[in-house]
A = this chain, B = another copy of it.
Amino acid sequence: MAEKLPKGYRAAGVYTGVKRNPTKKDLSLFISDRPAIAVGVYTQNLVVAAPVKLCQSRTPAKSILAVVANSGVANACTGEQGDKDALFMAAKTAQTCGVDPEQVLVMSTGVIGEMLPMDKISAGIDEAFPLLNTDEQSLVDAARGILTTDTVHKIKTREFEIDGVQICITGVAKGAAMIGPNLATMLALILTDANISADDADAGLKDAADESFNCISVDGHTSTNDTVLLLANGSAGGPQLSGPALAKFQATLVEVCEDLAQSIPADGEGASHLITVEVHGCQTRRDAVKIAKTVADSTLVKTAIAGNDPNWGRIVSAAGYAGIEFDPAKVSLLVNGMLLYDQGQPVKFDEAAVSESMRSQRDTGIVLLMDGGEASARFWTTDLTAEYVRLNADYHT
């Protein structure tokens, strides 16, 4: 399916000079032609960047008209001047686009502790405004403008029809792969032309983020800037979604978020495996997520998988220190579909075959069966290679 902007949105991406490489984009503008519902999900880190504080104070909102985003400098740990710069970035966008400052949201990603070069940002907004367009290339340019060390831009579009109304959801994201100068920031902006209430949008985005962006991890860091925004402008027409129509919207929103979320570790530079950790049989989904995340964040598990080593002991042991109660004698483990650990006991298995299955494909599947309930979770991460360390150690602030 081609990637496209939903109805009533325009986008542009430009190069302002914040990034060093002039072949890149580093400022993006997204405009809705009519006031949009806007809701957000933000970093849980106590140290919160200025643009995140701005968005937190303005969402949920009912009449957002623009989102401006920059990459290269995160405007994090920048004190009061940083707050002023984020406000100015919104005000400048509002002035250029002819809207109220309060109708603008702001996202930033990049180096932390550096001040935004406001002259470049201002010039970029001026440059982007006349380029705003509904075509695919403008969407791609805008998707590129939020990237930092990502190797590919990330756009997902899903369309569906409800009672004769064609609805589109398109998301763009930047990755959490902590390579280079950035702080593993994950940004995503989901645009839809659906007609939904602010409450449904708010609850829907939280649920979707919980099943997607909150289930990925590259190195366990929660950034100062992590932000997921959802705008819904109703341009698709039709009545406000409810009942089965709302459920269909929600299911599609989850799909878009999952696709975007998975694309983040999949683009992890220096990684040789994309790892999916599934945990089944917990009492609550929260428990399952905690176990899955603990396994996914284990340095020992990640290095073992980098070495194509089916080291079940590291996986079972990581589950054991997740802080969730379970019966170790009931736990079973499969790697790439092969049973390695059965009801608390190691199984004789063909080590060479498991190792070869890991070596021959980029995806590694870990399935833990806890046999203590009905709840499940999935978590996505990457392995930990010597190349990852080299990339992270060799960058100097």
Residues of chain A having any CB pair with chain B under 8 Å: 44-48, 76-79, 111-114, 178, 183-184, 219-224, 297-300, 303-304, 306-314, 316-321, 325-326, 328-329, 331, 341, 344-346, 351, 355, 384-390, 392-397
| 8 contacting pairs across A/B (C-beta < 8 A) | A46-B319, A47-B331, A48-B328, A77-B316, A79-B329, A299-B384, A300-B392, A303-B388
Closest to A115 in B: B346
CB distance from A357 to the nearest CB of B (A): 14
Interface-central residue, A79, A304, A310, A317, by most chain B CB under 10 Å: A317
- Which 9 pairs of residues, A with B, have the shortest CB-CB distance? A307-B393, A47-B320, A303-B392, A222-B321, A113-B346, A386-B386, A112-B313, A45-B320, A219-B299
Q: Number of copies of this chain in the oligomer?
A: 2
Pairwise interchain contact B184-A46, C-beta atoms closer than 8 A? no
Q: How far is the CB of A279 from chain B (nearest CB, A)?
A: 14
Docked-complex contact A345 and B393, CB < 8 angstroms:
no
Given A220-B299, A325-B46, answer yes or no on A397-B320 (Cβ-Cβ < 8 Å).
no
Residues of chain B with a CB closer than 8 A to A396's CB:
307-309, 351, 355
The answer to whether A77 and B300 touch (CB under 8 A), given A222-B320, A317-B112, A394-B307, is no
The contact of A397 among B45, B114, B297, B310, by CB within 8 Å, is: B310
Known pairs A220-B299, A221-B299, A303-B393; list 10 more (Cβ under 8 Å): A46-B325, A77-B346, A112-B317, A219-B298, A219-B300, A299-B299, A307-B394, A313-B397, A351-B396, A384-B389
Residues of chain B within 8 A of A48, CB atoms compared: 328
Q: Which of B47, B313, B384 contacts A113 (CB 8 A)?
A: B313
CB proximity of A43 to chain B, nearest CB, Å = 8
Which residue from B114, B300, B328, B394 sits with its C-beta under 8 Å from A221? B300
- Contact residues of A: prevailing secondary structure: loop
Beta-carbon contact of A389 and B320 below 8 Å: no
| CB proximity of A364 to chain B, nearest CB, Å | 13
Judging by beta carbons under 8 Å apart, are B224 and A311 in contact?
A: no
Residues of B close to A77: CB separation below 8 A: 313, 316, 341, 344-346
How far does the Cβ of A298 sit from chain B's closest Cβ, in whole Å? 7
Q: Are B45 and A317 in contact (CB under 8 A)?
A: yes
Q: Is the CB of A320 within 8 A of B393?
A: no
B389 near A393: Cβ-Cβ < 8 Å: no
B46 touches A326 (CB 8 A): yes
**Which of chain B's residues have a CB closer than 8 A to the CB of A221?**
298-300, 314, 317-318, 321
